[in-house]
Amino acid sequence: MKGYIYYEEEDSMRNRWFIDELIKEGAANQLVVELLTGDAELPNDATFVFYRARDFEKSQRWEQDGIVVVNRSEVNRVANDKLQTFQLAALLGIPSIPTRRLDSAQDVRQYPIVIKTTDGHGGEEVHLCKTKTEIEHVISRYPNRQLVMQPYIENNSSDVRLYLIGEEVVGAVKRTGVESFKANVGLGGTAERFEVPSPLREFAVKIAKALKSDYIGVDFIQNAEGVWLLNEIEDPVGARSLYETSELNVAREVMCHIHKKLSKSL
């Protein structure tokens, strides 16, 4: 079976090692896999696409053409919209950080407050604001973007990310920020292996089942009372921290999962 790994051009250069591993492990699972980037058209021989970008409308068009997309476009849509993520958690009964639209500084009733772009990722567009002036400054930076607000939760600048392939939690890391309230490793944070307690595992699996996802990350933080709260769903989720903290061959497990998925659909 022939398939493609899709990345935006810049992201493909940063993730070349993982791409090569996916291609190699695809071959081991009887999958012929090539890289597709940017605005390149999807060739007619494509059976599936492992989609590693955030434009769900692009993957949705491929699905409408009969292509199997991993993750499916609905996963991408929900995971990259913080309001949709919060609404999904509410429907599933999963505790989460209260998330509300922010249209003006007058919407804020308590400080400090965390302001995020709805579709941001990697922690780059996350701001801790302590005054109305700071909020107005953040709003001015994103004139054409939807913003959300969340209460600031003291969590020692740490969170945990659970990695799921299909409906199975295959690993987890605890991430801790360095000189920042953000725990993102890409912003200088550190990661260590994390043993997942049963309630947290059940929450993550419930999300994966509801989304019918293939490979996602699910992020939680723990508040001062010890309650775990869903923060974000990550699609596409990176694998670097998981490789660094475990012996799991992520590329192998993902391509094995895709092979099984395609075999069932034939």
Please tell me the pTM assigned to this model.
0.91
Q: How far apart are CA 114 and CA 101, in angstroms?
A: 12
Q: Which residue's entry shows tokens 């769900």?
A: 56
Q: How far apart are CA 115 and CA 100, in angstroms?
A: 10
* β-sheet with 126-129: strand ranges across: 100-102, 147-151, 113-117, 126-129
At residue 188, the pLDDT reads 58
pLDDT tens sequence across 215-234: 999 999 999 899 999 999 99
Residue 200 in this model has a pLDDT that exceeds 90? yes
**What residues have CB less than 8 Å from 140, skipping those under 6 apart?**
none
At residue 265, the pLDDT reads 76
All structural domains of the chain, each given as residue ranges with its CATH number in brackets, are 2-77+254-265 (3.40.50.20), 100-151 (3.30.1490.20), 154-248 (3.30.470.20)
| 138: confidence class by pLDDT, cuts 50, 70, 90 | very high
pLDDT tens sequence across 79-113: 999 999 999 999 999 999 999 999 999 999 999 99
